[in-house]
Amino acid sequence: MKETITQVALENGLKVLLKEIHTAPIISQWLWYRVGSRFEKPGYTGISHWVEHMQFKGTPNFPAGLLDKAISRDGGYWNAFTYLDWTTYFETTPADKIDLALSLEADRMVNSVFDENEVNAERTVVISEREGNENEPLFLLDEAVQSSAFDKHPYKNEVIGSIADLQNITRDDLYAFYRDHYNPGNAVLALAGDFDSERMLEKVRRIYQALQGHSVPEPGNPREELLQREKKIEIHGPGETTYLQIAWRAPAAADDVFFAFTIADSLLTGPASLNMFGGGGISNKTSRLYQRLVEKEYAISVNGSLQATHDPFLYAITITVNPKHQPEEILALLDNELDALRQAPVKQAEIDRAAKQARALFAYGSENITNQAFWLGYSEMFDDYSWFTRYTSRLAEVTPEILVDTVRKYLNREQRVVGIYYPDGVRP
């Protein structure tokens, strides 16, 4: 994949990536900060997400409520997201209306107010969001498995944080976190769309270069190795459905073995999109576990989850259990499939099909201008943009031997967390 990308680092540390796409008169801007739950200390879980909320509460130049109306009036849309390694803000607008978005992001990078009343109001919002999540079985299961899979690394915590921390974090805590992490030296600005790169760079320099930047050190989290023994957990909660989740440590996205993991995921559970914000879908009915578990009515559904992260995170398989069967029965069938994958040679044709599906889904998740701008900055959060451009070629490098070696090393019984969610009253 050969593309012309303009990459510039301003003197204040802001990295700027520009990609001209002249298929439609729109521009998408994504501003990425290297801050997420991985940067949070004990007692302050959820602070990254809460700061993201506060970025919509206004600055002296852009009071709260004004911007949403202004961007909508111009025919644009905007949003923000917080995850393990990053926080990002984006606007997609008509090409001739991008100046508002550029000025907005530069202003709230340094001038957000964090009014005490707004902080208290937003505390109620984020706690309500957390409490709402606690009514969702898969949130409860994900949280329990994730917490069990790590000893000290902040990846053990949900991005939204704990109720106790959300109750105790103060306005000054939020503002100090904002001042530490929101600045040009800790940010990547990515724009794709209908513009001239030279002129756009002039605009960016004019708006951003006067802002002071400083680097933000890595948090120095312990790099946890593969699990050394199997952990089993059971949780109970609302609903009528039983779920089974099995999680193993997965490599960081910049690790070469990540691409073998991608093929293994596609082969076992079907292709999954790394673009977290949409972009097509492909049936997983050709996958091994779908054919073994769903087609034979042991499970209602089966899905894999592999995320591109800065540090080693998790690969999880989540199964919706058919009420006619027990989770332990399904786990035994899954183990049989993994044993077969470890022991029997994998045909190149099967790898080629899995790679083709993964590449197709990757293409679907990269096709529109908003997604193109997304990938410009997203890949910088765990590697650099060459990770994106080399993605499909690196999938093609996965051989049967590499795949089997990866499964043998990572997907073992003693190196996993097995979580079962039972609806209240189903099982003691």
pTM, two decimal places: 0.94
Chain segment 77-121, per-residue pLDDT in tens: 999 999 999 999 999 999 999 999 999 999 999 999 999 999 999
Nearest Cα to Cα of residue 407 among 335, 333, 327, 328? 335
Distance CA 210, CA 184 (A): 10
| Cβ-Cβ contacts under 8 Å for 300 (sequence gap 6 or more) | 241, 294, 320, 321, 322
DSSP string for 269-333: H----S-TT-------TTSHHIIIIITTTSEEEEEEEE---SS--EEEEEEEEPTTS-HHHHHHH
The predicted pLDDT at position 153 comes to: 96
In the chain, the domains with their CATH numbers are 6-208 (3.30.830.10), 231-423 (3.30.830.10)
Distance CA 228, CA 230 (A): 7
Distance CA 93, CA 99 (A): 10
The 10 Å Cβ neighbour count of residue 83 is: 18
| Cβ-Cβ contacts under 8 Å for 389 (sequence gap 6 or more) | 1, 2, 3
Answer whether 380's CB lies under 8 Å from 32's CB.
yes
Cα-Cα-Cα-Cα dihedral sign, residues 133, 138, 144, 146: negative
Q: Maximum CA pair distance of the chain?
A: 66
DSSP string for 165-200: HHHH--HHHHHHHHHHH-SGGGEEEEEEESS-HHHH
Distance CA 306, CA 316 (A): 7
Chain segment 128-173, per-residue pLDDT in tens: 999 999 999 999 999 999 999 999 999 999 999 999 999 999 999 9
The predicted pLDDT at position 322 comes to: 97
| Token reading at 107 | 């202003």
The 10 Å Cβ neighbour count of residue 171 is: 16
Residue type for position 7: Q
The secondary element (H helix, E strand) that includes residue 390 is none
Strand 299-306 relative to strand 314-321, pairing:
antiparallel
Tokens 């004990």 appear where? 42
Measured CA to CA in angstroms, residue 276 lies from 77, 375, 402 at distances of: 17, 10, 27
Would you write out the chain's pLDDT as a tens digit for each of its 428 residues?
446 899 999 999 999 999 999 999 999 999 999 999 999 999 999 999 999 999 999 999 998 878 788 888 888 999 999 999 999 999 999 999 999 999 999 999 999 999 999 999 999 999 999 999 999 999 999 999 999 999 999 999 999 999 999 999 999 999 999 999 999 999 999 999 999 999 999 999 999 999 999 999 999 888 888 888 999 999 999 999 999 999 999 999 999 999 999 999 989 998 777 765 555 556 688 899 999 999 999 999 999 999 999 999 999 999 999 999 999 999 999 999 999 998 877 888 888 888 887 777 777 666 789 988 999 999 999 999 999 889 888 988 999 999 999 999 999 999 999 999 999 977 65
The predicted pLDDT at position 50 comes to: 98
Answer whether 282's CB lies under 8 Å from 357's CB.
yes
Tokens 């009915």 appear where? 285
Chain segment 347-381, per-residue pLDDT in tens: 888 888 888 877 777 776 667 899 889 999 999 99
Answer whether 325's CB lies under 8 Å from 244's CB.
no
Measured CA to CA in angstroms, residue 2 lies from 160, 330, 389, 390 at distances of: 38, 45, 7, 10
DSSP conformation class of 345: P
Distance CA 82, CA 88 (A): 7
**CA geometry: angle 188, 51, 8, nearest 5 deg:** 10
The secondary element (H helix, E strand) that includes residue 360 is helix 348-364
DSSP conformation class of 58: B
Question: Taking the chain, what is the end-to-end CA distance rounded to the nearest angstrom?
Answer: 54
Cα-Cα-Cα-Cα dihedral sign, residues 269, 275, 276, 278: negative
The predicted pLDDT at position 351 comes to: 87
Distance CA 54, CA 298 (A): 45
The predicted pLDDT at position 1 comes to: 42
Distance CA 64, CA 87 (A): 20
Answer whether 411's CB lies under 8 Å from 316's CB.
no
Q: What is the mean pLDDT of the chain?
A: 92
